Amino acid sequence: MRAFKIQGYVEQDHTLSLQLPEEVPEGPVEVIVLIPERVSKPAHSLNDFLDRLAGLPRQVLSKDEIDHHLERERQSWD
Protein backbone atom coordinates (compact mmCIF):
# COMPACT_ATOMS: atom_id res chain seq x y z
CA MET A 1 0.00 0.00 0.00
CA ARG A 2 1.27 3.49 -0.83
CA ALA A 3 0.32 6.75 0.82
CA PHE A 4 -0.01 10.26 -0.57
CA LYS A 5 -0.16 13.34 1.61
CA ILE A 6 -2.43 15.91 0.00
CA GLN A 7 -3.82 19.09 1.53
CA GLY A 8 -7.57 19.57 1.22
CA TYR A 9 -10.28 21.90 2.42
CA VAL A 10 -13.62 20.94 3.92
CA GLU A 11 -16.38 23.16 2.56
CA GLN A 12 -19.33 24.51 4.59
CA ASP A 13 -21.46 21.62 3.33
CA HIS A 14 -18.83 19.20 4.72
CA THR A 15 -17.65 18.03 1.29
CA LEU A 16 -14.03 17.42 0.40
CA SER A 17 -12.57 17.28 -3.10
CA LEU A 18 -9.08 16.02 -3.84
CA GLN A 19 -6.99 15.96 -7.01
CA LEU A 20 -4.72 12.92 -6.92
CA PRO A 21 -1.49 12.49 -8.87
CA GLU A 22 -1.72 10.84 -12.33
CA GLU A 23 0.08 7.75 -11.03
CA VAL A 24 -2.85 6.80 -8.77
CA PRO A 25 -4.84 4.13 -10.64
CA GLU A 26 -8.61 4.10 -10.89
CA GLY A 27 -10.29 1.93 -8.27
CA PRO A 28 -11.19 1.78 -4.60
CA VAL A 29 -9.10 3.60 -2.00
CA GLU A 30 -9.23 4.27 1.72
CA VAL A 31 -9.33 7.88 2.87
CA ILE A 32 -8.08 8.95 6.29
CA VAL A 33 -8.88 12.50 7.37
CA LEU A 34 -6.61 14.13 9.95
CA ILE A 35 -8.06 17.25 11.51
CA PRO A 36 -5.51 19.60 13.09
CA GLU A 37 -5.97 20.21 16.80
CA ARG A 38 -7.00 23.70 17.73
CA VAL A 39 -4.30 25.38 19.74
CA SER A 40 -5.66 26.38 23.10
CA LYS A 41 -4.06 28.42 25.82
CA PRO A 42 -2.22 26.16 28.26
CA ALA A 43 -3.81 25.83 31.67
CA HIS A 44 -0.67 27.24 33.27
CA SER A 45 2.17 29.23 31.82
CA LEU A 46 5.85 28.93 32.65
CA ASN A 47 5.59 32.19 34.55
CA ASP A 48 2.77 30.74 36.68
CA PHE A 49 4.97 27.75 37.47
CA LEU A 50 7.96 29.92 38.37
CA ASP A 51 5.80 32.14 40.58
CA ARG A 52 4.49 29.10 42.45
CA LEU A 53 7.98 27.65 42.70
CA ALA A 54 9.31 30.85 44.25
CA GLY A 55 6.75 30.57 47.05
CA LEU A 56 7.81 27.05 48.07
CA PRO A 57 10.32 26.44 50.85
CA ARG A 58 13.78 25.52 49.57
CA GLN A 59 15.92 22.82 51.07
CA VAL A 60 19.57 23.57 50.48
CA LEU A 61 21.76 20.48 50.56
CA SER A 62 25.50 20.35 50.88
CA LYS A 63 27.65 18.62 48.28
CA ASP A 64 28.19 15.70 50.69
CA GLU A 65 24.43 15.33 51.25
CA ILE A 66 23.78 15.34 47.51
CA ASP A 67 26.55 12.78 46.93
CA HIS A 68 25.05 10.58 49.67
CA HIS A 69 21.57 10.73 48.07
CA LEU A 70 23.03 9.93 44.65
CA GLU A 71 24.99 6.98 46.00
CA ARG A 72 21.89 5.57 47.72
CA GLU A 73 19.96 5.94 44.45
CA ARG A 74 22.71 4.16 42.48
CA GLN A 75 22.76 1.30 44.99
CA SER A 76 18.99 0.87 44.57
CA TRP A 77 19.49 0.13 40.87
CA ASP A 78 21.17 -3.21 41.55
The better pLDDT of the pair 39, 29 is held by 29
What pLDDT score was predicted for residue 71?
94
Q: Is a pLDDT exceeding 80 seen at residue 41?
A: no
Q: Decide if 21 contacts 4 (C-beta within 8 A).
A: yes
| pLDDT band per the 50, 70, 90 thresholds, residue 75 | very high
- Does pTM top 0.75 for this prediction? no
45/60 Cα distance (integer angstroms): 26
Listed by start position, the domains of the chain span 46-76
19/8 Cα distance (integer angstroms): 9
What pLDDT score was predicted for residue 15?
93
67/70 Cα distance (integer angstroms): 5
Q: Decide if 8 contacts 16 (C-beta within 8 A).
A: yes
What pLDDT score was predicted for residue 52?
85
What pLDDT score was predicted for residue 1?
76
| CA separation, residue 61 to residues 47, 58, 68 (Å) | 26, 9, 10
